[in-house]
Amino acid sequence: MSLALISHHQLQADFHDHIGLQLWSLRATALTKGLPASLDFAKKWGVVELEGALVTPNMTAEQVRAALDARGLKMPSAHVQYAELTKDLAPMVRAAKALGVSYVICPWIPHQGAFTPEQIQQAAKDFNHAGEVFRAAGLKFGYHPHGYELIPTATAGETLLDDLIRATNPETVCYQMDVFWIYHGGGDPVKLLNKYSNRWVSLHVKDIRRAAPYGQPTGHAPDTDNVAVGAGQINWPAVIGTAQKIGVGYYFIEDETPAPLENVPASLAYLRQLKF
């Protein structure tokens, strides 16, 4: 069997080789000093694989790529906002190609109040369309659940997230698990990884404060409920062990704590010492 025919869940790379950083973690640095300063921190911390955005304020995709290349960094994954998916996708395809991105991920479905089945149906339609366009360009499209999709449905033990995953084409739409938001929303990260083992391609790795409430499918929590990875409630050996077993390819730390310059290195140290 050629490598091209082997699906991602059959490839079990050591997660230590793919511990990356979501650049949103350094949003304050980027806002005050620009994206290159954030890239300098990543290089200093020994991170090679980054997740950013397809559109960077005040920089073209080619300029971002040059800044990455100059530091020996890569951006295998990038986020795109939902509104862009309802427009001509050609500019997004061009940006992804310029950046060297393989995975284009939507991180949020705009909505007011509680998420609804009707919004699931519309999102599935839009995601399936985007998935076809990106696949035709040699790229992979995915969605990043944010916890508000975990509202229970009439089917025992299932949520709107189950409906969304089933309504999207497994050949063209993959998923990125934000472990914090799945847990915060009342989901079991390990069970969901196993349940949809052929759909998850990456993780957002972030932890929830030990005394923080969870089981709330709102998609919102104060920054102070975020802590360095390994310092909170989540059973990381179980989560990452399962993710590695099913072939998840990338593990992006996303730090939304009030002190990312201290907590990102702490998260990296914890993850790098994990053994299975």
Contacts of 24 (CB under 8 A, 6+ apart): 254, 256
pLDDT, mean of residues 150-166: 97
pLDDT, mean of residues 101-111: 98
Quick one: CA torsion of 53, 56, 62, 66, rounded to 10 degrees? -90
The yes-or-no verdict on residue 105 having pLDDT over 80 is: yes
**Among 136, 92, 102, 128, which Cα is nearest to 250's?**
102
Summary count for the chain: helices (H), strands (E): 11, 10
> Beta partners for 226?
208
Residue 3 has what pLDDT? 38
The yes-or-no verdict on residue 275 having pLDDT over 80 is: yes
Q: What pTM was computed for the model?
A: 0.95
Cα distance between residue 128 and residue 130, in whole Å: 6
Confidence of residue 12 (pLDDT cuts 50, 70, 90): low
The yes-or-no verdict on residue 116 having pLDDT over 50 is: yes
Query: What are residue 40's phi and psi, to 5 degrees?
Result: -65, -40
Residue 7 has what pLDDT? 45
pLDDT, mean of residues 4-33: 80
The yes-or-no verdict on residue 139 having pLDDT over 80 is: yes
**Among 162, 165, 151, which Cα is nearest to 113's?**
151
The yes-or-no verdict on residue 6 having pLDDT over 90 is: no
Enumerate the domain spans of the chain: 3-273
What single letter denotes the amino acid at residue 163? Answer: D
The yes-or-no verdict on residue 234 having pLDDT over 80 is: yes
Confidence of residue 2 (pLDDT cuts 50, 70, 90): very low
Cα distance between residue 244 and residue 225, in whole Å: 26
pLDDT, mean of residues 131-148: 98
Residue 276 has what pLDDT? 82
The yes-or-no verdict on residue 21 having pLDDT over 50 is: yes
Looking at the chain, the whole-number percentage of residues with pLDDT higher than 70 is 96
CATH of segment(s) 3-273 = 3.20.20.150
Pull the structure tokens for residue 50: 């980054």
The yes-or-no verdict on residue 1 having pLDDT over 80 is: no
Residue 8 has what pLDDT? 46
**Among 236, 147, 142, 153, which Cα is nearest to 186's?**
147
| CB-CB contact of 37 with 25 (8 Å) | no
Pull the structure tokens for residue 135: 């696949």
Range with the poorest average pLDDT among 12-16, 22-26, 31-35, 108-112: 12-16
| CB-CB contact of 55 with 99 (8 Å) | no
DSSP letter at 102 equals S
| CB-CB contact of 178 with 206 (8 Å) | yes
Strands 49-53, 74-79: pairing is parallel
Residue 11 has what pLDDT? 52
pLDDT, mean of residues 210-233: 97
Pull the structure tokens for residue 187: 């989901």
Pull the structure tokens for residue 242: 């399962």
Name the average pLDDT for the chain.
95
Query: What are residue 142's phi and psi, to 5 degrees?
Result: -150, 175
Range with the poorest average pLDDT among 11-15, 92-96, 246-250: 11-15
